[in-house]
Structure 1
Amino acid sequence: MTAEPSSLTDADPRPHVVVLGAGFAGLSAVRSLRKAPVKVTLVDRHSYSTFQPLLYQVATGALNPGDITYGARGFAAHTGAYFRKGEVTTVDPETRTISLDVGPDLHYDYLVIANGVTTNYFGVPGAAEHAFPIYTRGEALAVRDRMTSYLDHIAATGEARGASVVVVGGGATGVEMAGTLAELRNTVLPSRYPELDPGEVHVVLVEMTDKVLPPFAPRLREYAAEQLRARGVELRLEAAVKEVRPDSVLLADGTELDANMTVWATGVAAHERVKNWGLRQGKGGRIVVGGDLRVPDHPEILVAGDIGVIEDDALPQLAQPALQTGQHAGRTIMHVLAGEPTERFHYKDKGTMATIGRLSAVADIAHGPKLVGVLAWLTWMFVHIFALLGNRNRVFVTLGLAFRYLAQRRGVMVVGDDPG
């Protein structure tokens, strides 16, 4: 394959579509354009795509990062696209030019912005400096390294009798992280760290509302809370975080929680550099688009996934909306090329789910049953394994999760793969 196109004057006469981001939305957009009469360049700062819903399994040691990543260059080649590795520094809508941190500029006829979002600390003092997010592969590994190194340290020195982990955020990621950590404390710690008393290792989940999993149905929220408490997770509901310190979390009511590690699992926002792209932004820095996902002032620019927001119909920042908007963005470009009117995007809600631990999950199926327990857990397993890219990843994730949940009392803490 020849070098990727970089200019509107390239010999290839087809319109050039540049897709920023190799996440759910970006890959979906590229896939939808594979038979279109365009040349496509996929851009990402990493050479791989990460399956973010399973990052907490990497953070807690069941999976290696390679199990949930897929080569972006290989995906691009398979779909007839080009791949360009680099971090976007500027987007100039007037000249239709994209600058990267390395290599020549890219010029486009159509641009799909699907570069996702990043952790939102909501201006909480100390959160960015002392809390551990789990939004990227490198961050998940940092959590795992911090957890294991601290346990090894106190087991060797006896400087502390226990440890405390505070998880901030009662959404799906926070619930999954807290439940898994508590389960590991109960099942793995006695055999791997006999020097420590599991009863002195505390897991606290802090949520500013009065419930965990707020978007879920009441019965599912109540089940999740019961399962967390049954695993020994201390729930601090209606508790806002005032400050994150190196070894504690200060709540708005003055309570100070010991925290040898604080995991930040609440909220996302656009990357800071998006402010300089000359595009109107809404809440959380999301780029405002029309119903067909085009930017009103620059109809050659489309936005898909978490980074975009339809002005009169804000979508949840989840995998399914990202996949569906990515596909729709590709279809919109094909409609424009064919001289056909574009169509408004309509989200098909397939439901949401979250796992609490072994044989325990909740699944809120759209227009279907609301499941809890083993059936919900099996549904969660099937959906997540099926959604992975690549048969290798499906096999390794199946084995890793099976070993964690079915042979759990033997203990598991996978190591390997460098952060990226």
Structure 2
Amino acid sequence: MGDLTSAGRLRVVVVGAGFGGLEAVRALARANADVTLIDRNNHHVFQPLLYQVATAALSPGDIAWPVRSIFRRQANVTVVMADVDGVDAERRVVHADGGLAFPYDILVLATGATHSYFGHEEWATAAPGLKTIDDATDIRRRLLLAFERAEIATDEMERRRLLTFVVVGGGPTGVELAGAMVELARHSLARDFRRIDPAAARVVLIEAGPRLLPTLPEQLSVVARRALERMGVQVLAGTRVTGCEAGVVHCGEDRIAASTIVWAAGVVASPAGAWIGTERDRAGRLRVEPDLTVPGHPEIFAVGDLAGAVNADGRPVPGVAPAAKQMGRYVGRVIAARAGRRKAPAPFRYRHHDDLATIGRRSAVVAMDGLGCSAGSSGVPPTSGI
């Protein structure tokens, strides 16, 4: 593909229409630049609510928006649906499937992260993760199909397996997903079957570490575990998964037969770092300068889960949506300053506000600027004071 930009204007290519990519493009609305936004999908997904699509509480259309509609009124943006497969950093060209090529003056990599199976990629088929609409609808299909098959099962052991659901990983996604699975079984499907009682479904949450929600204050981890257990979730903390295959999770010598296994135990950055051959950390994130440029490539920026950014105090910036949005806005301002030949903004600084994990319909834990609190009913008392 030829040059898509107008002469005399900065050519900016943004790869990825997640939170970081969208904010970078929005920040360039008035810049002297022509922007090409490339993503393999033509929609943006609000990932924090994917678990509700997976458990049939929301439809995919409730959390997805067409990228072209988002930028309909931003005249300097061209949206391209394509799968990027490489970057020629020397010639400053992005390559995509079908032989497409996009020259750039500035490149923003906002390709996010994918599931990490810690070297056991063969587990992916048996234990899908939750990052896309397709992931969510596949998990929802597995869940609902398990109840349907249990309704007609004649063997009691098989019925128990069908009504057993396992979530691997006790972070926010795992906690929210386990709670939503219980809600699906005990409320949404409670009166829909004749031969089985959906409320008898067994939901197991496995966490390798000693407690759930390890990034939150310990008191909130305790509250979250109690809330889940009161809902009926079986929490196995300090338990490491050693194998996953169709219908079975292995934890050392223990074996859990389950119809549906969902992986929420870890993420790894997209392979974009390999495209430009730069330094990456153990999670695949690109090491970046204080202005979020890639070392040795002042024309390439990384944002969101792909960027291994740190604050002035040396603490890593968390891989959450607010951080990605802040990075995207910051990079957009830096590029706009370059396009207008203005002084660049001060180095990036992440401002963390709060952490939230919902537990079913009536409980949640929140950590706000050093204050930990929970809110709930159904026997889950509020607590605060961290």
2:148 is equivalent to residue 158 of structure 1: no
Q: TM-score, normalised by structure 1?
A: 0.84
Partner of 1:46: 41
Partner of 1:285: 284
Partner of 1:138: 134
Instruction: Tell me the alpha carbon deviations over residues 92-113 of structure 1, each in whole angstroms, 9 at most, x when there is no partner.
Output: 1111000111353000000110
Does the Cα contact within 8 Å between 1:124 and 1:241 map onto a contact in 2? no
Does the Cα contact within 8 Å between 1:164 and 1:259 map onto a contact in 2? yes
Does the Cα contact within 8 Å between 2:248 and 2:256 map onto a contact in 1? yes
Partner of 2:351: 348
Does the Cα contact within 8 Å between 1:96 and 1:108 map onto a contact in 2? yes
Does the Cα contact within 8 Å between 2:220 and 2:372 map onto a contact in 1? no
Partner of 2:98: 102
Partner of 2:383: none
Alignment of 1:380-399 (within 5 A): none
Partner of 1:176: 176
CA distance 1:125–1:75, shift in 2 (3 Å)? closer
Q: 2: distance between equivalents of 1:62 and 1:278?
A: 42
Partner of 1:192: 192
Alignment of 1:214-363 (within 5 A): 214-252=214-252, 254-272=253-271, 274-310=273-309, 312-337=314-339, 338-363=341-366
Deviation at 1:158, TM superposition (A): 3.0
Deviation at 1:157, TM superposition (A): 3.5
Partner secondary structure for residue 112 of structure 1:
strand
Deviation at 1:161, TM superposition (A): 2.7
Q: TM-score, normalised by structure 2?
A: 0.91
Instruction: Tell me the alpha carbon deviations over residues 140-166 of structure 1, each in whole angstroms, 9 at most, x when there is no partner.
Output: 000001111121122123343332111
Q: 1: distance between equivalents of 2:145 and 2:198?
A: 17
Partner of 1:409: none
Q: 1: distance between equivalents of 2:303 and 2:260?
A: 34
Deviation at 1:127, TM superposition (A): 1.6
Does the Cα contact within 8 Å between 2:87 and 2:276 map onto a contact in 1? yes
Deviation at 1:343, TM superposition (A): 1.9
Deviation at 1:260, TM superposition (A): 1.1
Greater mean deviation of Cα atoms: 31-40 or 69-78: 69-78
Greater mean deviation of Cα atoms: 273-282 or 14-23: 273-282
Aligned-residue identity in percent = 36
Q: 2: distance between equivalents of 1:354 and 1:30?
A: 29
Q: 1: distance between equivalents of 2:7 and 2:195?
A: 66
Partner of 2:12: 17
Letter of the 2:114 counterpart:
T
Partner secondary structure for residue 315 of structure 1:
coil
Does the Cα contact within 8 Å between 2:153 and 2:159 map onto a contact in 1? no
Does the Cα contact within 8 Å between 2:168 and 2:263 map onto a contact in 1? yes
Does the Cα contact within 8 Å between 1:161 and 1:197 map onto a contact in 2? no
Superposed CA RMSD in Å reads: 1.9
CA distance 1:341–1:33, shift in 2 (3 Å)? closer
Does the Cα contact within 8 Å between 1:18 and 1:41 map onto a contact in 2? yes
CA distance 1:313–1:296, shift in 2 (3 Å)? farther
Q: 2: distance between equivalents of 1:189 and 1:104?
A: 47
Q: 1: distance between equivalents of 2:99 and 2:46?
A: 27
More helix by share: 1
Segments ≥4 residues shifted beyond 6 Å = none
Q: Which runs of 5+ in 1 are unaligned?
A: 378-420
2:373 is equivalent to residue 370 of structure 1: yes
Q: 2: distance between equivalents of 1:183 and 1:64?
A: 16
